[in-house]
Amino acid sequence: MAVTIAVQQWFQQETFFNNPLSLSLVFLFSLFFLSRFLRVWAVGSKSVKVPPSPPKLPLIGHLHHLGSLPHQSLRALSLKYGPLMLLHLGYTPTLVVSSAKMGREIMKTHDVVFSTRPITTAVKEFLYSGKDVAFAPLVITNNIISRVALGRSLEEKSVGAKLTKDVMEHFGVFSVGDMFPSLGWIDELTGLKRRMRKTSSAMHRFLDEVVEEHLTSKKEGAQADKKDLVDLLLESEKDPTLGVEFTRENLRAVIMDMFVAGTDTTYTTLEWAMAELVNHPVAMKKVQEEVRKVIGNTTMVNESDTSKMDYFNCVIKETLRMHPALVLSLPRVSTSSSVIEGYQIPDKTRVIVNLWAICRDPEVWDKPNEFIPERFMNNLIDFRGKDFEFIPFGAGRRGCPGLTFGLMSVEAILANLLYWFDWELNGGATKIDMTEAFGLSVHLEQPLRLVPKAHLF
Ligand code: HEM
């Protein structure tokens, strides 16, 4: 009884409840506890759904599911767990997207949330932590790439080609530090970081040489109409209208992007096109007849010629569909939480779009694993990022800025190869083995070896 009276007296005192400061504190505390309660309740009541995941192992999560050809393993998993699947690659939550519909959600509807790239170990070592295009904030992509018109070519040097290959290999490697940020030191122990640093310094030395050559030829008064990408980038270094600071590190990293993102993808696409054609002699005959008819005796293939070659363009489309050079999009990372198809996707989730799986989705493509260029005849579906069932160049803000240049290069080289030569398999083989080898771009496991025979016109 004494206690009740004491409590009543305490409540009646003016000092606490009549004091505005005390009331605000009570209000804030109530708000805090209410929000905590609602969060726990929402999770408990399953109103917040997370995308489905396969069972995971302690520590490594789902890493063991990746296998030697991750695009294929991820597709197999998506058939079971759905087109929006959450994997834990080590400690890194990664959303895997495997259908056109979900691709549209990520690359169009929620593009703003998903247009940042994560800074991985390879990006730190090779691209000065993202001073390039591919891993930089978008403002640089827009300003530089459109400014420098990718239609200019870089000077070809065999040392550059070798380094490009090495760099591509490093970008295709899953490093321990990327999966388990607190265990990054293991990459030092395994020698991965040392190898990356070695290739990275060799690449930077090579790029400095290229820049020096350009600066020298500029001093010596090279013709203004002979400007290439590097000249244009050098001009960007001093351009105040660019809107962002563009340093020598940016310049090296952007040239590296061009080598890495531009050369291997183009070469891989050509290799797959030739391999498919040699394995499909009827298609080869048909496309060569068309190319030779359109080019006639002019001997030089130009852009207006290739636009007249309907079947040739179908062959390129079918190659890009079956063998998108980047089978998995470059990784993205969410910058805020969002809800996709009813699933809660938290901030800082990595996202990989399985371009290969989308381009071979049996729901969309008839006989998806067969090379049938005819499927594109009188078919308006296009790869420029509008039709999400066919996105070999990605789509949205982070779609490939080199699409036009890459495509023009593939068209020009392929048309010449088909026009001038007839192609035979090497050493009595009857078919090319189409087994894939994984890397940042997926190529043939056995390098393509064909014998060219000059065509008799
Ligand atoms: C057949 C040739 C090519 C194919 C199939 C291809 C494909 C792709 C794909 C799939 C992406 C990732 C898109 C995404 O993550 O959503 C990409 C990004 C990129 N590509 Fe290409 N590409 C090709 C040629 C080129 C060329 C020739 C260049 C430059 C000269 C280039 C420069 C880039 C750059 C800089 C990015 C990163 C863009 C960004 O993150 O904002 N690509 N490419």
Residues 361-417 pLDDT 10s: 999 999 999 999 999 999 999 999 999 999 999 999 899 988 998 899 899 999 999
Q: How far apart are CA 99 and CA 400, in angstroms?
A: 19
Provide the pLDDT for residue 339: 96
Cα-to-centroid distance, 199 and ligand 1 (Å): 22
Query: Where is mean pLDDT largest: 122-131, 175-184, 401-410?
Result: 401-410
Give which of 300, 330, 349 is closest to 172, Cα–Cα. Answer: 330
pLDDT of 277 above 70: yes
Q: Where are the domains of the chain?
A: 3-454
Ligand 1 atom at minimum distance from 138 CA: 41
Q: How far apart are CA 389 and CA 452, in angstroms?
A: 35
Question: Which position has the higher pLDDT, 10 or 341?
Answer: 341
8 Å CB contact between 130 and 119: yes
Q: What is the pTM of this model?
A: 0.80
8 Å CB contact between 318 and 375: yes
Greatest CA separation found in the chain? Answer: 115
Cα-to-centroid distance, 286 and ligand 1 (Å): 30
Provide the pLDDT for residue 427: 80
Element (H, E) at 12: helix 2-12
Q: Could you identify the residue written with the tokens 């109103």? A: 47
Query: What's the number of CA atoms in the CB half-sphere (13 Å) around residue 9?
Result: 6
We find that the CATH architecture of domain 3-454 is: Orthogonal Bundle (1.10)
8 Å CB contact between 364 and 132: no
For the four alpha carbons of 11, 12, 18 and 19, in that order, the dihedral sign comes to negative
8 Å CB contact between 206 and 159: yes
Q: Contacts from 442-449 at CB under 8 Å and sequence distance 24+?
A: 442/69, 442/71, 442/268, 442/323, 442/325, 442/326, 442/327, 442/356, 443/268, 443/271, 443/272, 444/271, 444/272, 444/275, 448/271, 448/274, 448/275
Q: How far apart are CA 392 and CA 328, in angstroms?
A: 9
Query: Where is mean pLDDT largest: 12-21, 141-150, 326-335?
Result: 326-335
3-class state of residue 255 by DSSP: helix
8 Å CB contact between 140 and 148: no
pLDDT of 139 above 50: no
Cα-to-centroid distance, 261 and ligand 1 (Å): 6
Mutate-to-test residue for ligand 1 from 265, 382, 388, 390, highest number of ligand atoms within 8 A of CB:
265
pLDDT of 172 above 80: no
The encoded tokens of residue 349 equal 């989730």
The encoded tokens of residue 367 equal 């006989």
Question: Which position has the higher pLDDT, 85 or 168?
Answer: 85
Residue 115 phi, psi dihedral angles, 5° rounding: -105, 15
DSSP secondary structure code for residue 156 in this structure: P
400 among the known binding-site residues?
A: yes
Ligand 1 atom at minimum distance from 263 CA: 27
Report which protein residue has its CA nearest ligand 1's atom 8: 393
Q: Could you identify the residue written with the tokens 């189409």? A: 434
8 Å CB contact between 406 and 265: yes
Pairing of β 350-353 and β 92-97:
parallel
8 Å CB contact between 324 and 436: no
The encoded tokens of residue 440 equal 């940042």
Cα-to-centroid distance, 441 and ligand 1 (Å): 11
For the four alpha carbons of 2, 3, 7 and 13, in that order, the dihedral sign comes to positive
Query: Which ipTM value was assigned to this complex?
Result: 0.98
Q: How far apart are CA 236 and CA 211, in angstroms?
A: 13
DSSP secondary structure code for residue 241 in this structure: G
Mean pLDDT of the chain: 81
The encoded tokens of residue 40 equal 């726990």
Provide the pLDDT for residue 321: 98
Question: Which position has the higher pLDDT, 353 or 14?
Answer: 353
* pLDDT tens, position by position, 41-92: 544 445 679 999 999 998 889 988 988 899 999 999 999 999 999 999 888 8
pLDDT of 152 above 70: no
Question: Which position has the higher pLDDT, 394 or 122?
Answer: 394
* pLDDT tens, position by position, 204-239: 888 888 788 878 876 666 565 667 777 877 887 777
Ligand 1 atom at minimum distance from 406 CA: 27
Provide the pLDDT for residue 27: 54
8 Å CB contact between 391 and 385: yes
